[in-house]
Amino acid sequence: MNYKATIITPFHNTDIDIFKETFKSVKAQTIGFENIEWVIVLHNCEQKYIDAVKELAAGHENVKLKELKNNSRSASSPRNYGLNFINSPYVEFLDSDDTINEKTIETCIDVMARHKPQVVVFRMAYKNRTRASQAL
């Protein structure tokens, strides 16, 4: 399959309810979820998290789960590992505890195609306050 874009997500024992929101935001992309290759790198994960992500990804052939076990404690290692599995002209990194607007991938592809930059950077906006800041 020729995908329009690839998302690489490093995943390390993220709360599954939070990751379900990430999953929902990727599935809602206006270019169509089936046009997105999603490489989720399960990095030094406990088995219960691996099982939960496999359950979420079941039935979605565009979602590729890759396990990585190493001594790295940063997200850069699984991001770099995920680059080995891409099959599209554009790559986006998305953390497992973040969500994206439904037009994010479409907008990035449009900017890249029209202006030919090497990198597109966009700002992060918070929809909800964190539990810690709500307690203040």
Tokens of residue 97, six digits: 């505890």
Alpha-carbon 94 to chain mean position: 4
Q: For every one of its 136 residues, what pLDDT tens digit does the chain have, with 9 covering 90 and above?
A: 799 999 999 999 999 999 999 999 999 999 999 999 999 999 999 999 999 999 999 999 999 999 999 999 999 999 999 999 999 999 999 999 999 999 999 999 999 999 998 888 877 666 665 554 444 3
Q: How many domains does the chain have?
A: 1
pLDDT for the residue numbered 130: 55
Look at residue 134 in the predicted model and tell me its pLDDT. 44
Residue 53's domain comprises 5-135
DSSP-assigned letter for residue 129: -
Which DSSP state fits 75? S
What are the tokens at 75?
């997200």
The residue with tokens 């939960």 is: 52
What CATH number is associated with residue 56? 3.90.550.10
The two three-digit tokens of residue 134, written as one number: 């709500």
Residue in the structure block whose two tokens are 């592809």: 109
User: Beta-carbon neighbour count of residue 60 at 10 Å?
Assistant: 15
pLDDT of residue 126: 64
pLDDT the model gives residue 115: 94
- pTM, entire model: 0.89
Taking the C-alpha atoms of residue 99 and residue 112, their distance in angstroms, rounded to an integer, is: 21
Closest CA to 49 of 8, 11, 7, 97: 11
